[in-house]
Structure 1
Amino acid sequence: MSRTNVFSRLENGNQYRFDDKSSASNRFNLETIFDFSNLQPRVQTHLKNVYTCVLVSVICATLGVYLSMTDWFNYPRLAIFASIITTIRVDPQIVMTAFLLTTTMFACLTLSALVTRKRTYLYLGGILGTGTSIMLLLSLMNIFGRSQLIFNINLHFGLVIVCGYILYDTQLIVERTSNGDMNYVKHAILLFIDMVDLFVRILIILFENSQSKNKKSNNR
């Protein structure tokens, strides 16, 4: 067989591979995002129970906040909690924006962790542990320093760490479920804590930005 024929066959083979890849990319649609065929059926069922519990927890938390703000629900028996309840007046638009951003980010991160066939996010455990230690150190430093810069660094760095924990915990739940851990309540609490932490940090960031804009407008 001549060299020319070999090279021509190789070129044709590479061309076919390129055409296959390009056609596969052209066939991309939204169904690919929600393709969970890589997960076992029992894992899919378990995840449905987990996210149902997360949804119920979010609804109950929202309802609890709403009822605590109404006068008719403040029974005398709740007076013992008066010393630990603080009322923070925040613009409702900021709260709604924070809630929508939290829901969107949580959904995107969760889908990213579920769709990928490789459990690469499980290797984030060590990095997230180190990041959490750094956040704790910054918080301890800020107790004595009272620095706004350290507070902002800790706040935004913590937001990145929380996003990493959502990816890590989601794949950790899938891995544990594959190994027989079917406690969906425990797994739902784990994700709910991540979601609340994400919401609080986004809310504080939006509130800080709103406060800085108000100060600039007042100084003019």
Structure 2
Amino acid sequence: MNVFDRNINFDALLKFSQISSSTQQHLKNVYSSLSLCMLVAAAGSYVHVVTRLFQGGFLSLLGSLGMMAWLAMTPHNQETEKQRLGILAGFAFFTGVGLGPAMDYVIAINPRDVAVPLVCGDVIFLLDAAPVLPGTLMSALSILLLVSLVNMFMGSVMLFKAHLYLGLLVMCGFVLFDTQLIIEKAELGDKDYIWHCVDLFLDFVTIFRKIMVILAMNEKDKKKEKK
């Protein structure tokens, strides 16, 4: 399996009305695996925030990368399916632990804000039927990079917030785009639902992080105004 193979016929991405029953089942498997990832990641975050048995940081990052590499090197077949699901769960767990420090920060400001990114993320994944052009996403990424470079010298809070909101919008677009790619790959015979789940899970994690930062910044601004 070449995990970097992105040779997709983009003209076929918009043909949602012609999805086969096997591809529909494939999508069910992808989203079932995604639900598993989200639950395990939540457990990983809980372990960091409440029990402190594992701390998010460099080691959790290494754990996530190691699990992803292991998953990529494990062939996709019926004999390895349970093993790969276990590796996927391990990847999600270490990713959840890695979210712990960000959750600590948000909890310190307002504990109620922790649940909001989860709800927003779920809504975003329920709205993944609209077509998104690849060129639009690439242009948006270029703008994000330019804003980041400019703000390295300016240190503007407004630019930082603009980068956050634009980045959140771009990631929503990538959820739609990655879902379309998964459909197209499945129609072409690639039914590796476990690896396809990784694409969407990484999108969700990025969205979750951005929403947490936005909520934390807004809460701090409210507290400043009250003073």
TM-score, length basis structure 2:
0.67
Q: 2:35 aligns with which of 48, 52, 55?
A: 55
Count the aligned residue pairs: 170
SS of equivalent residue, structure 2 residue 189 = coil
Q: Distance in 2 between matches of 1:134 and 1:96?
A: 30
Q: Return the match for 1:70 from 22, 47, 50.
A: 50
Show CA shifts across 1:105-148 (max 9, x none).
221x22x24xxxxxx43xx1111011112111211222222111
**Where do 1:9-88 residues align within 5 Å?**
38-71=18-51, 73-74=53-54, 81=59, 86=101, 87-88=104-105
In 2 relative to 1, CA 79–140 (structure 1 residues): closer, same or farther, beyond 3 Å?
closer
Q: Is the aligned partner of 1:195 residue 2:204?
A: yes
- 5 Å-filtered alignment, 1:116-155, equals 120-121=131-132, 124-155=133-164
Q: Deviations over 1:181-220 (max 9, x none)?
A: 11112211111111111111222222111111110001xx
- Consecutive unaligned residues in structure 2, runs of 5 or more: 1-15, 61-97
Separation in 2, partners of 1:178, 1:145: 47
User: What secondary structure is seen at the aligned counterpart in 2 of 1:106?
Assistant: helix
1:155 deviates by 0.9
Q: Indicate how the Cα distance of structure 1 residues 214 and 184 shifts in structure 2: closer, same or farther if over 3 A, else same.
A: same
What is the deviation of 1:74? 5.0
Q: 2:221 aligns with which of 197, 212, 216?
A: 212
TM-score normalised by structure 1 residue count: 0.69
Unaligned runs of 5+ in 1: 1-35, 114-119
AA partner of residue 198 (structure 1): I
Pick the structure with greater CA Rg.
1
Name the structure 1 match of 2:169.
Answer: 160
Aligned to 1:91: 110
SS of equivalent residue, structure 2 residue 27:
helix
**1:175 deviation in Å?**
0.9
Matched-pair contact (CA < 8 Å) for 2:109–2:220: no
Q: Which 4+ residue blocks in structure 1 deviate beyond 3 angstroms?
A: 78-82, 84-87
Percent identity between matched residues is: 34
**CA–CA separation in structure 2 for the residues paired with 1:195 and 1:105:** 9
Q: Secondary structure at the match of 1:172?
A: helix
CA RMSD of aligned residues (A): 2.6
1:193 alignment partner AA:
L
